[in-house]
Amino acid sequence: MSGVDGAPRGGEVIIEARRIGKDYGNVTALADVSTTVRAGEVTCVLGDNGAGKSTFIKVLSGVHRHDHGELVVDGEPVVFDGPRAALERGIATVHQDLAMVPLMPIWRNFFLGSELTRGRGPLRRLDVARMRAITRAELLRMGIDLRDVDQPVGTLSGGERQSVAIARAVHFGARVLILDEPTAALGVKQAGVVLRYIVGARERGLGVVFITHNPHHAHPVGDRFLLLNRGRSLGDFARGEVDRAELVHLMSGGAELDELAHELDRDRS
Amino acid sequence: MGTSTGAAEPLPGARRPTVPRASLRVRLLRRPEVGALAAAVAVFVFFSLVTDTFLTPQGVATWLESAALFGIMAVAVSMLMIGGEFDLSTGVMVGSTGLLTGVLATHAGVNVWVAVVVSLVAALAVGLVNGLLVVRTGLPSFIVTLGTFFVLQGLNLALTKAVTGQVAVQGMTGAAGFWDARWLFGSSMRLGPATFQVSILWWALFTAACTWVLLRTRAGNWIFAAGGEARSARHSGVPVLRTKVGLFALTAFAGWLVGMLSLFRTTTVQASTGVGVEFVYIICAVVGGCLLTGGFGSAIGGALGALIYGMTYQGIVFAGWDNNWLKAFLGVMLLAAVAVNTSVRRRAHTAGAARTARTSPHVAAAGGSPGGAALDPEGEVRR
């Protein structure tokens, strides 16, 4: 958390979205959305339910193709033909289900589907010592000290589980992490845990795309704030261009919330 | 442990010789088979005290043989259960493979070795059909294999009657190659005053091989993942469907092996062999600590479940009791096992969770983490 407010702390631009749009048939799900993701920065994508957050990250993560605008990765325009293509460019998505098996030990989950082995032929076997060591080391780098990497993932708190998923994505070569509502299902304290890991990832030089509907979660960690409402951009602000009160105001539809507050006040009296 | 190949790993701590482990107690409690081990010891001690024969060398050889034939299947059924599926055609498969081998050898004049291989291929084919039906249709394996069970049961009786005119295959000893094959599947060895059947060796080898696969290979990881949370496994790149089909083939293979072991031991096979035994295998697996819902269990647990079954089965005979008590005992064991498994698992989990909560903030605050963990994982975030 070393960045001075307002000063960009990030490195080079990894992803640049230029006036991205996406239609589902006649329905415009997303229009004219622009933002940038830099190495060592957190780009927050804020919006209420149905604002177009998930459509936007599906474009970034290669699940959907955009219909308008340009997606520029490392300076060259790209059209991803699947999540694997995005992954190959180092863009990894941590979904809400985290792709974890609760009854399995942490280290087995960490390497699930990409297990390290040694020996060959019928003697090809898991390199347990190395996987356990790497799991522990990667979790430490995330600032999480679990001591016992054999405990089942199901015994971890929601925040810790998120951090294992993040550490796993980082270990397998992610330069940009897309975190889909990582704090949505968590209590205040657990959300705090996850925010710390987001900061940890940022300080290791990763670009983070943090999707949330909670401006109180976004403001402390964000370097850039993209606000979406009904598929359109309400603005793409750098840190310092907007304060928390403004974020809350814009997020909640500003005027609409004023109206609501007014109405509720009137009902009470 | 000391032969790590991680020399090129740039991570701090990757080459540290040891990663801390939980205490022995927690690790032991986390093992799925711990309850079955305790129960096996109790049954062993009980019959050793109650009967004179149980602890004699020949007594041991007898209950080990009983346990072996159930144990091979129980281990395979455990693997399948960990992978999240059931197989009800396991018992009848023992009969089918024995009958097929017997009929080919005695009525078609085929060399016994060829008959053995043909029945293996047939068994694997049934296993593949089971597996493919389950993963393709998405139907519960309980229903699919119930169908296979009835089909095989019907075929066993109808075909055996049609070909031999009887409900059993006999006269194996005269078939070409019988005595060679018997060496592999039906021989015995004398150890001191007792005669041990070769099936015990097969059981030990099969259990060891399955344990190796389960705990030390990628396929083992995939089995746990496929049974534990198939969707997450698929998202992580695990070939879930292939893993499950492979498991059905494995149980079919085990059915074939047990079919051969009984055929060459007794030189005869009844058309009704194995009917009703499929539930014993499932009980052995559950008693051994496998979760009915998948994703948790062990091969050794299944073997221990079968050992309990074998000891009780013969123990009751040695004691001269009515062997109908066995079924009642099995039922009680099953219920007890489910209760014990649930509580043991819960205790292992909470023990682990409590440890984490207690230790990690302390360690982080003390700066004792080499990864530069300055962040307190439990703390509040800056506002």
Assign 3-state DSSP to chain B and report helix, strand, coil percentages, each to 5: 70, 5, 25
Name the nearest CA neighbour of A55 among A226, A206, A203, A195: A226
In CATH, which of 3.20.20.70, 3.20.20.370, 3.30.300.160, 3.40.50.300 is domain A13-104+174-268? Answer: 3.40.50.300
The residue ranges of chain A whose pLDDT is under 70 are: 1-10, 252-258, 267-269
d(CA A103, CA B290): 12
Looking at per-residue pLDDT, the higher value among B283 and B234 belongs to: B283
Q: Do B378 and A193 touch (CB under 8 A)?
A: yes
Distance between CA atoms of residues B313 and A249, nearest Å: 74
Would the CB atoms of A112 and B221 count as touching at under 8 Å?
Answer: yes
- The pLDDT, as a whole number, for residue B91 is 93
Among A126, A196, A244, the strongest candidate for a mutation testing the B interface, having the largest count of B CBs within 10 A, is A196
Nearest partner of B186 among B174, B176, B196, B175, judged by Cα = B196
Q: Give the minimum alpha-carbon distance from B72 to chain A in angstroms, rounded to a whole number.
A: 21
Asked whether the beta carbons of B248 and B127 are under 8 A apart, the reply is: yes
Predicted confidence (pLDDT) at residue B366 exceeds the cutoff of 60: no
Kindly report the CATH number assigned to the domain that includes residue B158: 1.10.3470
Q: Which residues of chain B are within 8 Å of residue A139 when distances are taken between CB atoms?
A: 371
Identify the band that residue B257 occupies on the pLDDT scale cut at 50, 70 and 90: very high
Cα–Cα distance for residue pair A173/A40, rounded to 1 Å: 15
Burial group, residue A172, by CB count within 10 angstroms (0-12, 13-18, 19+) = middle
Closest to B39 measured CA to CA, from B369, B319, B268, B339: B339
Assess if residue B293 is contained within a domain: yes
- What is the CB neighbour count within 10 angstroms for residue A247? 21
Domain hosting B210: range is: 31-347
Tell me the chain B residues in contact with residue A155 when contact means C-beta distances shorter than 8 Å. 349-350, 352-353, 356
Inter-chain residue contact B5 with A195, CB threshold 8 Å: no
- List A residues 148-167 in contact with B (Cβ-Cβ < 8 A): 148-152, 154-156, 159-160, 163
Q: Structure tokens of B13? A: 């701590």
Delimit the domains of chain A by residue range: 13-104+174-268
Number of independent structural domains in chain B: 1
| Strand runs labelled E in chain B | 168-169, 188-191, 194-197, 269-270
Q: How confident is the prediction for chain B on average, in pLDDT?
A: 83
Please tell me if residue A130 touches chain B, with a CB cutoff of 8 Å: yes
Report which of residues B366 and B317 the model is more confident about.
Answer: B317
Cα first-last separation, chain B: 46
The answer to whether residues B253 and B124 touch, using CB atoms and an 8 Å cutoff, is: yes
* Residue B356 domain-assigned (yes or no): no
pLDDT at B73: 96
Residues in A closer than 8 angstroms to B15, CB to CB, are 133
CB contacts of A162 in chain B (<8 Å) are: none
CB within 8 Å: B235 and A196? no
B207, B299 Cβ separation under 8 angstroms = yes
Contact criterion met (CB below 8 Å) for B348 and B358: no
Q: A213 CB contacts (<8 Å, ≥6 apart)?
A: A46, A47, A48, A49, A51, A53, A181, A184, A251
Closest CA to A130 of B11, B215, B370: B11
Q: Reply yes or no on whether the pLDDT at B365 is more than 60.
A: no
Report the pLDDT value the prediction gives residue A95, as an integer from 0 to 100.
80
**For A124, nearest residue in chain B (alpha carbons):** B217
What b-and-e string marks burial along A141-164, b requiring 16 or more CB atoms within 10 Å of the CB?
Answer: bbbbbbbbbbbbbbbbbbbbbbbb
The Cα B375–Cα A142 span in angstroms is: 9
Neighbour-count burial of A121, counting CB atoms closer than 10 A to its CB (0-12 exposed, 13-18 middle, 19+ buried):
exposed
Chain A residues close to B360, C-beta within 8 Å: 144-147
CA distance A245 to A27: 32
Is residue B44 one of the residues assigned to a domain? yes
Mean pLDDT of B51-80: 94
Which of B281, B259, B254, B279 lies closest to B269 in space, CA to CA?
B259
Contacts of B349 in chain A (CB under 8 A): 152, 154-155
- Which one of A113, A125, A196 has the shortest CB-CB distance to B381? A196
Give me the pLDDT at residue A148, please.
Answer: 85
SS3 assignment, position A30: strand
The residue type of A82 is G
**Residue-level pLDDT at B273:** 85
Q: What is the pLDDT of residue B323?
A: 81
Residues in chain B within 8 Å Cβ distance of A115: 218, 221
From residue A80, alpha-carbon distances to A56, A61, A83 in Å are: 13, 8, 7
In one-letter notation, the amino acid at residue B59 is G
Please enumerate in sequence order all residues whose Cβ is within 8 A of that of A35, keeping only pairs 6 or more positions apart, or say none.
A16, A17, A43, A45, A224, A226, A233, A236
Share of chain B above pLDDT 90, in %: 51
From chain A, pick out residues whose CB is under 8 angstroms from the CB of B14.
130, 133-134, 137
Render pLDDT for B83-107 as a digit per residue (tens, 0 to 9): 999 999 999 999 999 999 999 988 8
* B159-196 b/e (C-beta count within 10 Å ≥ 16 → b): ebeebbeeeebeebeebeebeebbeebbeeeeeeebeb
Retrieve residue B221's tokens: 């990881």
pLDDT, one tens digit per residue, over B114-128 is 999 999 999 999 999
Percent of chain A with pLDDT over 90: 23
Whether the per-residue pLDDT at B367 is higher than 60: the answer is no
Residues of A in contact with B376 (CB under 8 A): 196
pLDDT at B374 over 50: no
Decide if A189 touches B, using CB distance below 8 A.
yes
A20 SS3 class = strand
Q: Is B180 helix (H, G, I), strand (E, B) or coil?
A: helix
Among A233-242, B23-32, B176-185, name the one with the lowest average pLDDT: B23-32
Smallest Cβ–Cβ distance between A195 and the set B6, B27, B381 belongs to: B381
Q: Residue A199: its chain B contacts at CB < 8 A?
A: 375
Query: pLDDT value at position B64?
Result: 94
Name B304's Cβ contacts closer than 8 Å, sequence gap at least 6.
B33, B36, B37, B39, B40, B287, B288
Please name the residues in contact with B126: beta carbons below 8 A apart, sequence gap of 6 or more: B89, B93, B96, B148, B152, B252
Q: Do A112 and B236 touch (CB under 8 A)?
A: yes
Q: How far is B272 from chain A (nearest CA, A)?
A: 38
Residue in chain A closest to B220 (alpha carbons) equals A126
B21 found inside a domain? no
Query: Is the per-residue pLDDT at B306 higher than 90?
Result: yes
Complex ipTM value = 0.77
CB contact under 8 A, B353 and A113: no
**Of the partner residues A103, A141, A150, the one whose CB lies closest to the CB of residue B228:** A103
- Distance set, CA B302 to CA A210, A259, B67, B273 (Å): 46, 66, 11, 22
CB contact under 8 A, B374 and A143: yes
**Nearest chain B CA: its distance from A21 CA (Å):** 27
Name the 3-class secondary structure at B270.
Answer: strand
Asked if residue B290 has pLDDT above 50, the reply is: yes
Across B67-75, average pLDDT: 95
pLDDT at residue A71, rounded to an integer: 92
In percent, the amount of chain B with pLDDT more than 70 equals 85
pLDDT exceeds 60 at position B362: no
